[in-house]
Amino acid sequence: MAAPHPRAHGRATAPAVVDLSLARDARRLRDFQTRCRTVDEVNRKALARLFQTGLIYTRHGARLGRELLLAHQHLLRVSDLLARIAELPESAPAADGAALYGEAQTLLTRTAELTARCGEALSRER
Protein backbone atom coordinates (compact mmCIF):
# COMPACT_ATOMS: atom_id res chain seq x y z
CA MET A 1 0.00 0.00 0.00
CA ALA A 2 1.38 3.40 -0.95
CA ALA A 3 2.16 5.99 1.68
CA PRO A 4 -0.45 8.73 1.87
CA HIS A 5 0.36 12.02 0.18
CA PRO A 6 1.34 14.70 2.76
CA ARG A 7 -1.60 16.87 1.79
CA ALA A 8 -3.99 14.00 2.35
CA HIS A 9 -4.10 14.83 6.06
CA GLY A 10 -4.67 18.54 5.51
CA ARG A 11 -1.03 19.44 6.20
CA ALA A 12 1.06 21.18 3.59
CA THR A 13 4.81 20.80 3.71
CA ALA A 14 6.80 23.97 3.36
CA PRO A 15 9.28 24.06 0.48
CA ALA A 16 12.94 24.04 1.46
CA VAL A 17 14.49 27.49 1.55
CA VAL A 18 18.01 27.80 0.28
CA ASP A 19 20.17 30.75 1.24
CA LEU A 20 21.94 31.57 -2.01
CA SER A 21 24.66 33.59 -0.31
CA LEU A 22 25.68 30.53 1.71
CA ALA A 23 25.64 28.40 -1.43
CA ARG A 24 27.83 30.98 -3.24
CA ASP A 25 30.25 31.09 -0.32
CA ALA A 26 30.49 27.30 -0.23
CA ARG A 27 31.12 27.16 -3.97
CA ARG A 28 33.75 29.89 -3.77
CA LEU A 29 35.53 28.00 -1.01
CA ARG A 30 35.42 24.75 -3.03
CA ASP A 31 36.77 26.57 -6.10
CA PHE A 32 39.70 27.98 -4.11
CA GLN A 33 40.44 24.57 -2.62
CA THR A 34 40.40 22.99 -6.07
CA ARG A 35 42.74 25.66 -7.45
CA CYS A 36 45.07 25.15 -4.51
CA ARG A 37 45.20 21.38 -5.08
CA THR A 38 45.77 21.85 -8.81
CA VAL A 39 48.65 24.29 -8.34
CA ASP A 40 50.17 22.00 -5.69
CA GLU A 41 50.09 19.07 -8.12
CA VAL A 42 51.75 21.15 -10.85
CA ASN A 43 54.46 22.25 -8.40
CA ARG A 44 55.13 18.67 -7.32
CA LYS A 45 55.50 17.59 -10.94
CA ALA A 46 57.86 20.49 -11.67
CA LEU A 47 60.00 19.62 -8.67
CA ALA A 48 60.10 15.97 -9.76
CA ARG A 49 61.24 17.08 -13.23
CA LEU A 50 63.99 19.18 -11.67
CA PHE A 51 65.31 16.08 -9.93
CA GLN A 52 64.77 13.73 -12.89
CA THR A 53 66.69 15.99 -15.25
CA GLY A 54 69.44 16.68 -12.73
CA LEU A 55 68.82 20.39 -13.19
CA ILE A 56 68.32 20.78 -9.45
CA TYR A 57 72.09 20.41 -9.01
CA THR A 58 72.87 23.50 -11.09
CA ARG A 59 72.74 27.09 -9.90
CA HIS A 60 69.73 27.83 -12.08
CA GLY A 61 67.96 24.63 -10.99
CA ALA A 62 68.61 25.35 -7.33
CA ARG A 63 67.03 28.79 -7.79
CA LEU A 64 64.02 27.17 -9.44
CA GLY A 65 63.81 24.71 -6.55
CA ARG A 66 63.80 27.55 -4.04
CA GLU A 67 61.03 29.26 -6.00
CA LEU A 68 59.00 26.06 -5.94
CA LEU A 69 59.58 25.83 -2.20
CA LEU A 70 58.33 29.40 -1.82
CA ALA A 71 55.31 28.51 -3.94
CA HIS A 72 54.65 25.51 -1.68
CA GLN A 73 54.86 27.75 1.38
CA HIS A 74 52.33 30.08 -0.25
CA LEU A 75 50.02 27.11 -0.86
CA LEU A 76 50.30 26.05 2.78
CA ARG A 77 49.33 29.57 3.81
CA VAL A 78 46.39 29.51 1.37
CA SER A 79 45.25 26.19 2.84
CA ASP A 80 45.39 27.72 6.30
CA LEU A 81 43.39 30.75 5.14
CA LEU A 82 40.77 28.52 3.53
CA ALA A 83 40.45 26.51 6.74
CA ARG A 84 39.92 29.76 8.66
CA ILE A 85 37.30 30.85 6.13
CA ALA A 86 35.48 27.54 6.50
CA GLU A 87 35.41 27.99 10.28
CA LEU A 88 33.99 31.52 10.16
CA PRO A 89 30.57 31.67 11.80
CA GLU A 90 27.65 32.74 9.65
CA SER A 91 27.28 35.82 11.81
CA ALA A 92 30.84 36.98 11.02
CA PRO A 93 31.09 40.23 9.07
CA ALA A 94 31.52 39.79 5.32
CA ALA A 95 34.66 41.92 5.51
CA ASP A 96 36.42 39.17 7.50
CA GLY A 97 35.87 36.61 4.77
CA ALA A 98 36.67 39.13 2.04
CA ALA A 99 40.02 39.98 3.63
CA LEU A 100 40.95 36.30 3.93
CA TYR A 101 39.85 35.61 0.34
CA GLY A 102 41.86 38.60 -0.85
CA GLU A 103 45.01 37.35 0.82
CA ALA A 104 44.44 33.84 -0.53
CA GLN A 105 43.93 35.24 -4.05
CA THR A 106 47.15 37.25 -3.82
CA LEU A 107 49.11 34.20 -2.69
CA LEU A 108 47.62 32.01 -5.42
CA THR A 109 48.55 34.62 -8.02
CA ARG A 110 52.15 34.74 -6.77
CA THR A 111 52.27 30.97 -6.72
CA ALA A 112 50.98 30.76 -10.28
CA GLU A 113 53.68 33.21 -11.40
CA LEU A 114 56.41 31.18 -9.70
CA THR A 115 55.08 27.96 -11.17
CA ALA A 116 54.84 29.44 -14.67
CA ARG A 117 58.40 30.73 -14.45
CA CYS A 118 59.64 27.31 -13.43
CA GLY A 119 57.61 25.61 -16.16
CA GLU A 120 59.11 27.93 -18.80
CA ALA A 121 62.63 27.25 -17.58
CA LEU A 122 62.05 23.50 -17.59
CA SER A 123 60.61 23.56 -21.10
CA ARG A 124 63.70 25.48 -22.35
CA GLU A 125 66.00 22.89 -20.79
CA ARG A 126 64.50 20.05 -22.84
Give the domain ranges of the chain. Answer: 23-125
Q: Which amino acid is at 26?
A: A
The whole-number pLDDT of residue 23 equals 81
3 pLDDT band, cuts 50/70/90, is: low
Q: Whole-angstrom Cα distance, residue 97 to residue 86?
A: 9
For 58, how many CA atoms within 13 A lie in the half-sphere containing its CB?
A: 11
Longest pairwise C-alpha distance within the chain: 79
The whole-number pLDDT of residue 98 equals 86
User: Burial, 19: exposed, middle or buried (Cβ in 10 Å; 0-12, 13-18, 19+)?
Assistant: exposed
The structure's pTM equals 0.75
1 pLDDT band, cuts 50/70/90, is: low
Stretch 102-109: mean pLDDT:
92
The whole-number pLDDT of residue 14 equals 76
The whole-number pLDDT of residue 10 equals 56
DSSP string, 12-76: -PPPP---HHHHHHHHHHHHHHHHHHHHHHHHHHHHHHHHHHTGGGSHHHHHHHHHHHHHHHHHH
Q: How far is CA 116 from the centre of its chain?
A: 17
Residues 4-29 pLDDT 10s: 555 555 566 777 877 777 788 889 88
Residues 53-102 pLDDT 10s: 898 999 999 999 999 999 999 999 999 999 998 888 877 777 788 888 89
